[in-house]
Amino acid sequence: MNIQQKQVQRRRTFAIISHPDAGKTTLTEKLLLFGGAIHLAGAVKAKKASRGATSDWMAVERERGISVTSSVMKFDYQDYEINLLDTPGHQDFSEDTYRVLTAVDSVLMVIDSAKGVETQTKKLMEVCRMRRTPIMTFINKLDRDGLEPIELLDDIETNLGIECAPLTWPVGTGRGFKGVFDLRRDELRFFVPDGQKSTRPLDVRHVKGLDDPALDDLLGADAQQLRQDAELLSGAGHPFDVQRYLAARQSPVFFGSAINNFGVRELLDTFVELAPPPQPRQAETRMVSPLDPEFSGVVFKIQANMDPAHRDRIAFLRIVSGQFQKGMRVRHHRIGKDMQIAKATIFMAHDRTGVDQAWPGDIIGIHNHGTIKIGDTFSSKEPLKFTGIPSFAPEHFRRVRLKDPLRSKQLEKGLLQLCEEGAVQVFRPLRSNDYLLGAVGPLQFEITMARLKDEYNVEAGYESVDITGARWIAGGSGARQFVNDNGREIAKDIDGDLVYLVSNPWRLERLMETYDDVVLQTIKEHR
């Protein structure tokens, strides 16, 4: 095995997804704690009080207590290198999450034991299913009153359409939560609330299967309930099958309490063992293997003003193949120019470290002076264009109102840079000078105005418009006539592509019947 094969095999690049308040940020902290990336339990919360959580660095995130951008965190665990991508939980920022899911090889899904599957989790699951991304599940907050474990499994299977294969099983729940039993290793671990004393043993207890009389000594009456649950699982459940997990047909399930750091180590140990290493990626011309010797990578995210002192823009690039070396020259294929990557960074949320070399699966940040866009491909030789990074038609629209007309240039600069990040989409109607904003969720508009003020010193507001949707005009023999006839409802996006702004769904239906030779789309590839 050569060095590239070794480096690929030891990498795990994954995203954490959940509905808001399921415990994603807390679980992220505990994973970082095990990986030595932070050295104090509660560090995320402590930082949140002073300058934001490790993964929530933007001022507006600190003020609102939510994650609205995706963060990248790199750490080592055992002999593995982990690239963890934390994603926004709030549904109004789901498009950022969708793009992050194109840059990972697997997903860790967090479920609140009291709430079960929630709406946002369903939407994210659909994206994972489209990409056949393997999913591991952590059912959180077992120390609080919630649904029965069997109910939770049924909820996941029914609402998310994926088999569940528990690898640990809880002994009691809520106030009666005693711990978990590892079904693969026949190990019993007792729960002790973080920082509290207890008569329960802290070390792992090994038993000789569920029939071992030692279980009765350790658990008392709960031992029989555990045996009954295990019998029910063996009869009605799904045995764990690693190939079905890798094919995204089955999700291994773990139970625990992230805030008490319980059940997390078992999850992490199993994750690094079973989760896939960097996988091949589809380009327009061929499938690109991570073991290909020549360097290639794709930009899936752009973030402006990570460092407010320098007003910089960073492009997040997922390395697909080959090796990155500091100072190497690569081809930026969309613009057809070579460039030298003199500086690249790896991330611990907002903290950055220069990197001399990186391998497939790694996420590096490269400085962007306005020439890099989401979806751009870089390679050392072969012209490649990676596919599968979508832009979705917005569902909500607002017209921007600038309070100081003398700041129009700053407004334009700010909107275009925020649009490059993919947070909002900017449209310019053909027959007016308005700036129209489109977003997947309405909270994006509030965030955009706050960032314009904070990062660009632009005071602006927004107002409602009579627009309910957008369709990209993707071609067809009648496209030119369609634009001429409906010019008042046509705009251009940031790429100069024509978009039909929908004011009435019934009118759209009639137009599609009238202009049946025009192709209108709700999704377009970033280019």
pLDDT category, 25, cuts 50, 70, 90? confident
- Asked if 20 and 167 sit in the same domain, the reply is yes
The residue ranking higher by pLDDT, 373 or 5, is 5
Neighbour tally for 139: CB within 10 Å: 29
| 438-457 average pLDDT score | 87
| 147-169 average pLDDT score | 95
**What average pLDDT does the structure give for the chain?**
86
3 state SS of 466: coil
User: What global pTM score does this model have?
Assistant: 0.81
pLDDT category, 197, cuts 50, 70, 90? low
Assign residue 500 the CATH number of its domain.
3.30.70.3280
Does residue 274 have a pLDDT over 90?
Answer: yes
Does residue 175 have a pLDDT over 50?
Answer: yes
- Within-domain flag for 85: no
User: Each residue of 31-87: pLDDT tens digit?
Assistant: 988 887 665 545 444 444 443 444 444 554 455 444 434 478 888 999 999 999 877
- Asked if 438 and 311 sit in the same domain, the reply is no
Instruction: Give the residue from 272, 296, 321 where a domain finishes.
Output: 272
The percentage of residues in the chain with a pLDDT greater than 70, rounded to a whole number, is 87
| 198-208 average pLDDT score | 73
- What pLDDT is attached to residue 400? 96
- What pLDDT is attached to residue 50? 42
- What pLDDT is attached to residue 18? 87
- Within-domain flag for 260: yes
Residue 332 pairs with which residues in a beta bridge? 337, 378
- What pLDDT is attached to residue 46? 47
Does residue 151 have a pLDDT over 80?
Answer: yes
The percentage of residues in the chain with a pLDDT greater than 90, rounded to a whole number, is 55
- Asked if 286 and 419 sit in the same domain, the reply is no
Residue 171 pairs with which residues in a beta bridge? 179
Report how far residue 87's alpha carbon sits from residue 326's, in angstroms, rounded to the nearest whole number: 28
- Asked if 240 and 329 sit in the same domain, the reply is no
| 272-299 average pLDDT score | 96
Instruction: Give the residue from 342, 358, 379 where a domain finishes.
Output: 379
- Within-domain flag for 435: yes
- The number of residues making up the chain comes to 527
pLDDT category, 527, cuts 50, 70, 90? low
Report how far residue 27's alpha carbon sits from residue 376's, in angstroms, rounded to the nearest whole number: 32
- Within-domain flag for 150: yes
Helices (H) and strands (E) in the chain, counts: 15, 33
3 state SS of 219: helix
pLDDT category, 340, cuts 50, 70, 90? very high
- Within-domain flag for 82: no
- Asked if 179 and 246 sit in the same domain, the reply is yes
Domain count across the chain = 3
- Asked if 521 and 420 sit in the same domain, the reply is yes
User: Each residue of 257-271: pLDDT tens digit?
Assistant: 999 999 999 999 999
| 188-213 average pLDDT score | 78
Does residue 469 have a pLDDT over 80?
Answer: yes
Assign residue 197 the CATH number of its domain.
3.40.50.300
User: Each residue of 342-370: pLDDT tens digit?
Assistant: 889 887 655 678 899 999 999 999 988 77
| 270-276 average pLDDT score | 97
- Asked if 240 and 290 sit in the same domain, the reply is no
- Exposed / middle / buried, residue 159 (Cβ in 10 Å: 0-12, 13-18, 19+): middle
- What pLDDT is attached to residue 392? 79
3 state SS of 212: coil
- Asked if 375 and 394 sit in the same domain, the reply is no
Instruction: Give the residue from 243, 272, 301 where a domain finishes.
Output: 272
- What pLDDT is attached to residue 296? 97
- Asked if 374 and 460 sit in the same domain, the reply is no
- Asked if 291 and 308 sit in the same domain, the reply is yes
Return the minimum-mean-pLDDT range out of 89-103, 124-138, 441-455, 470-484: 89-103
Does residue 117 have a pLDDT over 80?
Answer: yes
- Asked if 13 and 158 sit in the same domain, the reply is yes
- Exposed / middle / buried, residue 212 (Cβ in 10 Å: 0-12, 13-18, 19+): middle
- Asked if 233 and 155 sit in the same domain, the reply is yes
Structural domain including 360 reads 281-379
Return the minimum-mean-pLDDT range out of 122-126, 131-135, 253-257, 372-376: 122-126
